[in-house]
Amino acid sequence: MSDLSIELTAPNGRKYTQPTGLFINNEWVAGSKGNKITSINPTDESEITQVHAAEPEDVDKAVEAARAAFNNPTWRDMAPSERGDLMYKLSQLVVQNKEVLATIETWDNGKPYSVALNEDLAEVSGCLKYYAGYADKVHGQVIDTGPAKLAYTIREPLGVCGQIIPWNYPLGMAAWKLGPALACGNTIVMKAAEQTPLSILVFANLIKEAGFPPGVVNILNGHGKVAGAAIAQHLGIDKVAFTGSTATGREIMKMASVNLKNITLETGGKSPLIVFDDADMDQAVKWSHIGIMSNMGQICTATSRILVQEGIYDNFIEAFKKQVASTSKVGDPFAEETFQGPQVTKAQYEKVLSYIEAGKSEGATLAMGGEAYKNVGEGKGFFVSPTVFTNVKPSMRIFREEVFGPFVVILSFKDEEEALQKANDTTYGLGAAIFTKDIVRAHKLARKIEAGTLWINSRKPGQDSDFRIPFGGVKQSGIGRELGEAGLEAYTNKKAVHVNLGTWL
């Protein structure tokens, strides 16, 4: 069926074949109602192409394929080392195809090409390779209860896992979820975000090429409220893993209750970055700039609240503004010098602009930016000038709510106690950063700040969420952990086996 792929030429001249169907049972199929999702280039607002959108009936088909694959000895009884080989092969196919995959990420998402290639794609292949190594290291335990019993545990896969991912790191989020799920022997129905439907479909072809049996990984595009909701409430799905907004996470949690699904949620954040007056100012400024301004601020762990000790507050603001002016070059994401591309969609762009209005009307001081950026190409595209608000009060929406843009609030604090109070004054708890030379204070505060991850004297997305290290939130930033050895916990059950060796009735 010709309508299941299209030949495309990206803005950087790269030609490739873009699948447009649903990837079910290692085959490309059309959506059952003929509904489509339009992929938009956020740099110039042009339409790239359309892809099929999954309906609940299509989710049913994908779940059926995933269940059959889970029960098929080809996968179920595959030696774990062999499963690891397939995953390693997939990681290497990603390396071989990284330029085309990075091109699509930049075209569809708007992130700078050098970042997509050197950070996102390195993370995708690295994460798959890391978990490939775990496939034959998921062990049970023998538990000694005395000579009358042999008791042991088996780490079993959960079954069919639904995985719902966002658009800010389209392939990165896929790898974070596929790696541990596959290492543990699960099968998968993944739904990509409707804002970035393209790269995952090219990646799907690599899954087949790597040699995974049909039905082990099924990949759908579809609308959240349709296909996403169908996954979250499907009786044939054993687990749902989600990354996205806290509001949607809450909905998913409710829907998942229909069959008491195992859940992992990774949701929003409003992460603090605290700078004490003894910190290396130059380093604190550079890291805090990257911490909020990279990936157009569209990072769940973006350090979007900067708290600066009062003695250095004014100097910090001046230095931060200088750093933004000299580093945050806004432009075409395919251009080498670009640091900041467009926001991913019109909706996100408008959301950021609306928070600029909120900040102004709440009486904060707009210290920099605060407007749409129209100096790229012919003035189209979802670009926002990097925006800095000062004199912000904790009661303001711009202090409390996740903006998800190149948008930061900078507040001052008097002492450690006030820093801690302000840092924890949030419903979120994903990440937090501390800049100080006092290691005692840094480690003491690291325990007191309510967050899943603490960074001391650094904050760089990519470097500071590392697939070898557990990642996740406390409070309303999520449930469960991804990545690292902890990521495996989210994809296995421990079955207990009791063998009677000497208690006779």
Q: Which residues are catalytic?
A: 266
Q: How many angstroms separate the CA atoms of 227 and 230, rounded?
A: 5
189/78 Cα distance (integer angstroms):
20
Closer to Mg ion by Cβ: residue 52 or 305: 52
With H, G, I as helix, E, B as strand and everything else as coil, classify residue 359.
helix
Instruction: Report what 123 binds from Mg ion, ligand NAI, none; CB cut-off 5-8 Å by kind.
Output: none
Binding mask of the shown chain, residues 210 to 229, with x at each position contacting ligand NAI by CB under 6 A: --------------xx--xx
Nearer to Mg ion, 69 or 193 (CB): 193
Least Å from the CB of residue 346 to ligand NAI: 12
Binding-site size for ligand NAI (CB under 6 A) equals: 27
Q: Between residue 248 and residue 307, which ones bind ligand NAI under the rule CB under 6 A?
A: 248, 251-252, 266-268, 300
CB of 298 to Mg ion, least distance (A): 12
- Least Cβ distance, residue 390 to ligand NAI (angstroms): 22
* Partner interacting with residue 267 (select from ligand NAI, Mg ion, none; CB below 5-8 Å by kind): ligand NAI
- Which residues from 7-46 bind ligand NAI, rule CB under 6 A? none
Least distance in angstroms from the C-beta of 339 to ligand NAI: 20
Q: Which is nearer to ligand NAI, 251 or 362 (CB)?
A: 251
Report d(CA 323, CA 179) in Å as an integer.
Answer: 37
Q: Which does 108 bind (CB under 5 to 8 A by kind): ligand NAI, Mg ion, none?
A: Mg ion
Query: CB-side exposure of 97: number of CA atoms within 13 Å?
Result: 25
Q: Which stretch binds ligand NAI (CB under 6 A): 73-81, 158-166, 202-210, 459-467?
A: 158-166
Q: Which of 18, 97, 243, 343 touches ligand NAI by CB under 6 A?
A: 243
Which partner, Mg ion, ligand NAI, none, binds residue 40 by CB below 5 to 8 Å per kind?
Mg ion
Name which of residues 345 to 384 contact ligand NAI (CB under 6 A): 348, 351
User: Binding ligand NAI by CB under 6 A: which of 31, 84, 166, 406?
Assistant: 166
Separation of alpha carbons 142 and 147, rounded Å: 13
| Whole-number Å distance between alpha carbons of 12 and 377 | 15
If one asks whether residue 191 binds ligand NAI (CB under 6 A), the answer comes out as yes
With binding defined as CB under 6 A, does residue 194 bind ligand NAI?
yes
Tell me whether residue 191 or residue 261 sits nearer to Mg ion (CB atom). Answer: 191
For ligand NAI, the closer of residues 159 and 405 by Cβ is 405
Helix ranges (H only) for 261-364 are 281-293, 313-327, 346-361
Q: Please state the closest distance from residue 355 (CB atom) to Mg ion, in A.
A: 21
Q: 435 with 459: CB under 8 angstroms?
A: no
Closest CA to 155 of 482, 483, 495: 495
Beta carbon nearer to ligand NAI, 169 or 316: 169
HEC-encoded secondary structure of 417-449: HHHHHHHCCCCCCCEEEEECCCHHHHHHHHHHC
Between 323 and 348, name the residue whose CB sits nearer to ligand NAI. Answer: 348
Burial class from Cβ neighbours inside 10 Å (0-12, 13-18, 19+) for residue 302 reads: buried
Q: Which of 43, 168, 221, 328 binds ligand NAI (CB under 6 A)?
A: 168
Minimum CB distance to ligand NAI smaller for 255 or for 445: 255
Asked if 327 and 289 count as a contact pair (C-beta separation under 8 A), the reply is yes
CA–centroid distance for 364 within its chain: 30
Q: Is 153 exposed, middle or buried (0-12, 13-18, 19+ CB in 10 A)?
A: middle
Distance from C-alpha of 433 to C-alpha of 160, rounded to nearest angstrom: 37
Distance CA 76, CA 284 (A): 50
Q: Copy the structure tokens of residue 33.
A: 């109602």
110 binds, among Mg ion, ligand NAI, none (CB under 5 to 8 A by kind): none
Burial group, residue 208, by CB count within 10 angstroms (0-12, 13-18, 19+): middle
- The separation between CA 453 and the C-alpha centre of its own chain, rounded to angstroms, equals 15
Part of the chain binding ligand NAI (CB under 6 A), chosen from 76-84, 86-94, 164-172, 445-453 = 164-172
Note whether 244 binds ligand NAI by CB under 6 A.
Answer: yes
Least distance to Mg ion, CB of residue 294, Å: 19
Which residues lie near Mg ion (CB under 5 A)? 40, 108
Nearest distance from C-beta of residue 198 to ligand NAI, angstroms? 14
DSSP 128: H
User: Minimum CB separation from Mg ion for residue 152, in Å?
Assistant: 49
Q: β-strands 431-435, 272-275: how paired?
A: parallel
The CB-based long-range contact list for 246-249 (8 Å cut-off, 24+ gap) reads: 246/402, 246/427, 246/428, 246/476, 246/477, 248/224, 249/478
Scanning the structure block, which residue is given the tokens 């992992």? 264
Q: Which of 37, 93, 232, 392 binds ligand NAI (CB under 6 A)?
A: 232
Give whichever of 222 and 331 is closer to ligand NAI, judged by the CB atom. 222
**Smallest distance from ligand NAI to CB 367, Å:** 23
Q: Confirm if 491 and 179 have CB atoms less than 8 A apart.
A: no
Q: Contact residues for ligand NAI (CB under 6 A)?
A: 164-168, 191, 193-194, 224-225, 228-229, 232, 243-245, 248, 251-252, 266-268, 300, 348, 351, 402, 404
